[in-house]
């Protein structure tokens, strides 16, 4: 025996599915400021030291349109712990400093054991 479905029944089923999907999405917590605190950056220079085992990276924002936001975040968080993501890998901890004598530049210090960006490499910085 062949089941018969009327168009209104199919329409109702689609609406119920859509409502369930929308309600599920609405209940997911999303920090509206999270994306605003992530900046795409570019390493200008990277230097590693054996003792102490640390990597220092001179960097700035990758995109010109992020310059003002980057400057504010850098000024507010100089000396703070941040996270960086290199090549889509894990988020690793680092310390960031604003370089007062080098306009629009930051300095990252991270353990030599962590993935560090190389010269001219792009990466993401997540400010607290």
DSSP string, 11-30: HHHHHHHHHHHHHHHHHS--
Residue 46 exposure: Cα atoms within 13 Å on the Cβ side? 16
pTM of the model: 0.73
Selected residue with higher pLDDT from 123 and 30: 123
Give the C-alpha distances (Å, rounded to integers) separating 8 from 3, 4, 16, 127: 15, 12, 12, 51
- The whole-number pLDDT of residue 33 equals 65
pLDDT at 40 over 60: yes
CB 116, CB 46: distance < 8 Å: yes
Q: Please, which pLDDT band fits residue 31 given cuts at 50, 70 and 90?
A: low
- The whole-number pLDDT of residue 20 equals 39
Average pLDDT across the chain, whole number? 82
Q: What is the CATH number of domain 35-126?
A: 2.40.30.10
Which residue stretches of the chain are H helix? 7-27, 67-77
* pLDDT, tens digit (0-9, with 9 covering 90-100), for 62-103: 999 999 999 999 999 999 999 999 999 999 999 999 999 988
How far is the C-alpha of 108 from the C-alpha of 22, rounded, in Å? 41
């Amino acid at each position: 025996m062949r089941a018969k479905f009327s168009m209104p029944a199919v329409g109702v089923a689609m609406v119920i599915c859509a409502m369930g999907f929308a309600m599920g999405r609405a209940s997911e917590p999303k920090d509206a400021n999270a994306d605003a605190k992530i900046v795409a950056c570019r390493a200008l220079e990277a230097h590693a030291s054996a003792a102490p085992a640390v990597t220092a990276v001179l960097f700035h924002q990758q995109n010109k349109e992020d310059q003002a936001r980057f400057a504010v975040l850098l000024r507010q968080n100089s000396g703070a712990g941040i996270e960086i993501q290199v090549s889509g890998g894990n988020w690793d901890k680092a310390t960031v400093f604003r370089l007062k004598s080098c306009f629009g530049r930051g300095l990252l210090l991270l353990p030599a054991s962590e993935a560090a960006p190389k010269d001219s490499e792009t990466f993401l910085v997540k400010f607290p």
